[in-house]
A and B are shown apart, each in its own frame.
Chain A
Amino acid sequence: NAGVTQTPKFQVLKTGQSMTLQCAQDMNHNSMYWYRQDPGMGLRLIYYSASEGTTDKGEVPNGYNVSRLNKREFSLRLESAAPSQTSVYFCASSDGSQPQHFGDGTRLSIL
């Protein structure tokens, strides 16, 4: 039982490049989330999907797009990466009001 799987684990991009972060969960959860975490800033919600077919903006959506491909998969895309998007990205999933379960994270550096 893998839980929440994120790929890749590490990535270095140049400014202006695009990239998609992948997330898959095998817990049959309805809801999925993307966060970024920067030193001293805590977890900040980028986008979430309450159920298959729906997506909503979180606290810091600018510069990102998401796709809920099916119930298992939720991807995060950076269309034109900027140095300010250097961060650790976490995907999480949950069922209703139950606690979220997190993936191991993607460490993204943009030069």
Chain B
Amino acid sequence: QKEVEQNSGPLSVPEGAIASLNCTYSDRGSQSFFWYRQYSGKSPELIMSIYSNGDKEDGRFTAQLNKASQYVSLLIRDSQPSDSATYLCAVNYPGNTPLVFGKGTRLSVIA
């Protein structure tokens, strides 16, 4: 069964803190991993892609991938109220099949 698990939250962090969002998946053969941000009433927006073990940084965002442990995480440094949204993890499982999305983690950054 192709699964992507995320804690639904809400995850509340104070402004300026580091928000840590986690995601686990069920197939070690997966090769591509994505984080989407979805504001309330809006569509999902791609914010990070990661394909190999380790960290990938883009501005205040860092994606971390550990294939041996089958988890991928997203760190948001210096969190801002504008980061308050639902964050969706998506995994590309082996074979020509669509991305599998987690149900998302709702993040609330408190000013």
A63 within 8 A of B: no
What are the residues of chain A within 8 A of B42 when measuring CB–CB?
104-105
Complex partner residue of A42 from B43, B92, B103, CB under 8 angstroms: B103
Cross-chain contact A41 with B103 (CB below 8 angstroms): yes
Cross-chain contact B44 with A43 (CB below 8 angstroms): yes
B96 within 8 A of A: yes
Known contacts A45-B98, A90-B43, A102-B43; A97 and B103 CB within 8 A of each other: no
Complex partner residue of B92 from A48, A97, A105, CB under 8 angstroms: A97
What are the residues of chain B within 8 A of A105 when measuring CB–CB?
42-43
Quote the shortest CB–CB distance from B52 to chain A (angstroms): 14
B101 within 8 A of A: yes
| Nearest CB in chain A to that of B44: its residue | A102
Known contacts A42-B88, A97-B32, A99-B90; A33 and B98 CB within 8 A of each other: yes
Complex partner residue of A99 from B8, B43, B46, CB under 8 angstroms: B46
Kindly state the separation between the CA atoms of A76 and B79 in the bound complex, as whole angstroms: 38
What are the residues of chain B within 8 A of A103 when measuring CB–CB?
43
What are the residues of chain B within 8 A of A58 when measuring CB–CB?
98
Complex partner residue of B88 from A43, A94, A101, CB under 8 angstroms: A43
Cross-chain contact B104 with A99 (CB below 8 angstroms): no
| Nearest CB in chain B to that of A101: its residue | B46
A100 within 8 A of B: yes
Contact bitstring A32-54, B, C-beta under 8 A = 1, else 0:
01000000111101001010000
Kindly state the separation between the CA atoms of A108 and B10 in the bound complex, as whole angstroms: 26
Known contacts A90-B43, A99-B46, A101-B46; A42 and B101 CB within 8 A of each other: yes
A-B contact pairs, 8 of them (CB 8 A): A42-B104, A43-B88, A43-B101, A97-B31, A97-B92, A102-B43, A102-B44, A105-B42
